[in-house]
Structure 1
Amino acid sequence: MAIKKQYLKSKPVCKVTFTVPADEAKTVAVVGDFNKWNPKKSTLKKLKNGTFKGTFDLPVENSYEFRYLIDGNYTNDAEADRFQWNDYAGAENAVLEI
């Protein structure tokens, strides 16, 4: 899994690209604070090599809790900036610092 951040000079936005290697998966979404944990607005596109990829414009100077939803199962990205316990989920969420 990989996270790439590209800060824009023209506006206070960071283009964040999420890449998830999941050859056997049918669907992968990234859900978090930035999309109200809604997988319908954040499904990643499956590439020919079996990797799922998607880019989102996120406002800067924020931190966002997120997780991947791979075929209905939640998982964290080991490359997240940090992890934070979430009582509602009863688990740690990955955190993205922008």
Structure 2
Amino acid sequence: MLERKQLRTRAQVTFVLPDHTPDGPVSVVGDFNHWNPAAHPLESRGDGTRATTVSLPRHSAHSFRYLAAGDYWFNDDTADSHDGTNSRIHT
């Protein structure tokens, strides 16, 4: 699930997944962090979910995916669109 907050010149996007689905660590990786899995790991929020927030320019589009333990890549079903391989978000 994606949560968004519009600021004056930026958009804060929070990437949210269930706490243990899939098991193990999960990161969001995308063109906004040079596909670096260490840049945005999801952290437990104490409410049964885990999340990370990324600040992006407003009126931009970005590709992203999730990377879980065991080199398991997956997309976000709630993304704005998909380009075949990746999820897409429009701010």
| TM-score of the aligned structures, taking structure 1 as reference length | 0.83
Contact 1:67/1:94, CA 8 A, preserved across alignment = yes
3-state DSSP class of the match of 2:38? helix
3-state DSSP class of the match of 1:15? strand
Q: Match for 1:67: what amino acid?
A: R
Structure 2: state its 5+ residue gaps: none
CA–CA distance in structure 2, aligned partners of residues 76 and 30 of structure 1:
10
CA–CA distance in structure 2, aligned partners of residues 55 and 67 of structure 1:
14
Structure 1 residue 51: deviation in Å?
Answer: 2.3
Computing the radius of gyration from Cα coordinates, the structure with the larger value is: 1
Q: Match for 1:36: what amino acid?
A: H
Q: Per-residue displacement from partner, 1:17-42 (whole Å, max 9, x unpaired)? A: 11011415220100001000001111
Matching residue of 2:34: 36
Q: Is 1:60 matched with 2:58?
A: yes
1:13-52 equivalences under 5 Å are: 13-23=10-20, 25-52=23-50
State the aligned residue count. 89
Q: Per-residue displacement from partner, 1:25-77 (whole Å, max 9, x unpaired)? A: 22010000100000111111124455221111111111000001121210000
Supply the RMSD in Å over aligned alpha carbons.
Answer: 1.4
Contact 1:20/1:52, CA 8 A, preserved across alignment = yes
Q: Is 1:74 matched with 2:67?
A: no
Sequence identity of aligned pairs in percent? Answer: 34
Q: Match for 1:73: what amino acid?
A: Y
Matching residue of 1:97: 90
| TM-score of the aligned structures, taking structure 2 as reference length | 0.88
Could you list the structure 1 runs, at least 4 aligned residues long, displaced by more than 6 angstroms after superposition: none
Structure 1: state its 5+ residue gaps: 86-91
